[in-house]
Amino acid sequence: MTTRRVFIKNAALTTAALGVVPTLSSALTGCAPSDRINVGVIGCNGQGYADLVPFLDHKNVECLALADVDENVLNRRATDVEKIRGKKPANLYKDWRKLIDNKDINVVIVGTPDHWHCIQMVAACEAGKDVYCEKPLGRTIEECNLMVSAAKKYKTVVQVGQWQRSDKHWQDAVNFIQSGKLGKIRLVRVFSYQGWCPSIPVQPDEAVPAGVDYDMWLGPAPNRPFNRNRFHFTFRWFWDYAGGLMTDWGVHLLDYALYGMNVTTPKSVMAMGGKYGYPADACETPDSLQTIYEFDGFNVLWDHAIGINDGAYGRNHGLGFVGENGTLVVDRDGWEVIPEKVNGKERMQAVPLAQGDGKGLNNHVRNFLTCIQSRNPNTNASVEIGAHIAKFSAIGNIAYRSGKKLVWDGTKFTNDVDANSYLVPTYRGPWKLPKV
């Protein structure tokens, strides 16, 4: 299984292979200026840069600008782009708003922490730019609603970074699930056990590193002293900026639970978990969590843990669609069907592992570029798809934080007024929730 860390490492290794990558001039040869797509990346340390790499596989794409609050990251990634295309991006910004204001940029990749996604995506839409936005689309329900409204109002083509939507073996698995061969499905077991994600020890606050605009990194989040645990990759374990493993991996995997079962809104949600593995570490989000979403006739169970790998079916992540005749198991490596065996008799024929080809992200970028050229807003992971699953994951976290079984009508909780306080974020001034 390719973890986030391994993926980003492999992307960096790819950029080092100068001998097999065309230079900027040769890559753009033959492309009329009107056919070129000028890309700018906001937040290019990790996933934002990993997203950019497959864009640069296309000869009509040029990376025109990078924006990051950390000068060290900005300069390193500019050099990485030069290794791929033979030329550094023309513009390097510490303030992402200057990238949005650059009229030569057609497409913005939003690769910042989750708490920034709404402001930056809406600003890009208002400026008439198409957007590739990392998942989860938004951190809260209201942010997601605003992002959908902005994309529609400004007729923006949006692709959310849920690249499994463009991965063929995942689509094949859904086709099998919806064929009815599994029989009545009682449970969709969704799990993410990430042994490669270690606990983070408590560290003291410290001075802001040289070259970092920390106030801009915080943006709409509460003002707090600089702490390395809250910066770069590990921001995802703090409620101010993200939602832990539930929103980090959950939007990928839970998306396919809903897609496979062809459902949208659960009747209720409840969650139990906590810091069972690392009670004294620095993380705020739970290292272990089980969340149950109730639908008519079946449940979706989310189960996650960090620091251990033993999920289910001999895998550390994936989904199990548990049917009367058999269970379809799918993860990033492929999918298979395990027959139900009762009194020594199998109820259906096994389906051996159909392996994936590992081209999901490349396919996802290609789909986005094709939709840009045709002005088709229905990308494989459209803003509506991204918003729906971001909200679905968010209400799971709200159930955990409230400690209650919550009844959800698609827009609000109907049995608990206090839980609705999580739906709309509070922004630190001068930043404000966008108006669309």
d(CA 67, CA 95): 7
Domains and CATH numbers, the chain: 4-165+362-384 (3.40.50.720), 168-356+389-422 (3.30.360.10)
Separation in Å, CA 231 to CA 42, 102, 206, 218, 237: 16, 27, 12, 9, 10
Residue 260 has pLDDT above 60, yes or no: yes
Task: Say if residue 21's pLDDT is above 80.
Answer: no
DSSP β-bridge partners for residue 329: 320, 336
Q: Is the pLDDT of residue 15 over 90?
A: no
Nearest to 396 by CA among 293, 300, 318, 326: 293
Task: Name 435's Cβ contacts closer than 8 Å, sequence gap at least 6.
Answer: none
Q: What is the pLDDT of residues 170-201, one digit of tens each?
A: 999 999 999 999 999 999 999 999 998 878 99
If phi > 0 it is left, if psi is from -120 to 50 it is alpha, else beta; for residue 13 that is alpha
Q: What is the pLDDT of residue 199?
A: 87
Q: How far apart are CA 182 and CA 338, in angstroms?
A: 10
For residue 274, the one-letter residue type is G
Q: Average pLDDT, stretch 346-358?
A: 96
Residues 317-335: pLDDT tens digits? 999 999 999 999 999 999 9
List the one residue out of 300, 306, 84, 46 whose CA is nearest residue 194.
306
Name which of 86, 277, 95, 96 is nearest 200 in CA terms. 277
Per-residue pLDDT tens digits for 47-101 = 999 999 999 999 999 999 999 999 999 999 999 999 999 999 999 999 999 999 9
Q: What percent of the chain clears pLDDT 90, i.e. is strictly above it? A: 90
At 12 the pLDDT is 37
Half-sphere exposure at residue 431, Cβ-oriented, CA atoms within 13 angstroms: 22
- Give the mean pLDDT of 386-392: 98
Q: pTM for the whole thing? A: 0.91
Mean pLDDT value across the chain: 92
Residue 361 vs residues 2, 63, 69, 167, 342: alpha-carbon distances, Å: 12, 18, 26, 8, 40
Phi and psi dihedrals of 302, rounded to 5?
Answer: -100, 130
Residue located via tokens 């400026």: 127
Q: By the 8 A CB rule, do 55 and 63 touch?
A: yes
| HEC per residue, the chain | CCCHHHHHHHHHHHHCCHHHCCCHHHHCCCCCHHHCEEEEEECCCCHHHHHHHHHCCCCCEEEEEEECCEHHHHHHHHHHHHHHHCCCCCEEECCHHHHHHCCCCCEEEECCCHHHHHHHHHHHHHCCCEEEECCCCCCCHHHHHHHHHHHHHCCCCEEECCHHHHCHHHHHHHHHHCCCCCCCEEEEEEEEEECCCCCCCCCCCCCCCCCECHHHHHCCCCCCCCCHHHCHHHHHHCCCCCCHHHHHCHHHHHHHHHHHHCCCCCCEEEEEEECCCCCCCCCCCCCEEEEEEEECCEEEEEEEEECCCCCECCECEEEEEEECCEEEEEECCEEEEEECEECCEECCCCEEEEECCCCHHHHHHHHHHHHHHHCCCCCCCCHHHHHHHHHHHHHHHHHHHHCCCEEECCCCECCCCHHHHHCCCCCCCCCCCCCC
